[in-house]
Amino acid sequence: MKALLTSFASGLVFALGLGISGMTRPIKVIGFLDFFGAWDASLAFVMVGAIAVYFVAYRIRATMPAPLLAPKFAMPTRHDLDVKLILGAAIFGAGWGLGGFCPGPALTSLASGAMPVFVFVVAMGLGMYLHSWVTEIRATTSGLTVSPANTTQDA
């Protein structure tokens, strides 16, 4: 129960931070991405603040044997970059850049009841489902090959 309440409180603080910083307003995000027009640098300060908090938390984590509410830290083990990761990051960045939402602020903005937010979140969910589906199909068919004798060509 303690972990659940801590997660809820953390999510609430995160949502409030997104709202206060303006990350839930697409026009603010798009203004930040408009480097050659009317650039709004205020979100850069939000990012610098987030990086500073993460830097301190990461250093503190290194001195702890385990988190307070879990048996061990869940740290990523992969350090390689591949085409799927880079392409996925580019699609992700283009999507939230065009829509003006990142996933966290989009979920927070659902409380506004605005139709564009709903459409963005539904599209984001469909994209996640499509990725899972394609990955699953690829995993189940990766051992299959098509021989040239079994293919057909139009005349």
Q: What is the pLDDT of residues 97-125, one digit of tens each?
A: 788 888 888 888 888 888 988 998 998 89
Cβ atoms of 28 and 121 within 8 Å: the answer is no
pLDDT number for residue 59:
93
Q: Dmax over Cα atoms in the chain, in whole Å?
A: 69
Read off the pTM. Answer: 0.62
User: Please, what's the b/e burial string for 34-52 (b: 16 or more CB within 10 A of its CB; e: otherwise)?
Assistant: eeeeeebeebeebeeeeee
139: pLDDT strictly greater than 70: yes
Count CB-CB contacts under 10 A for residue 122. 10
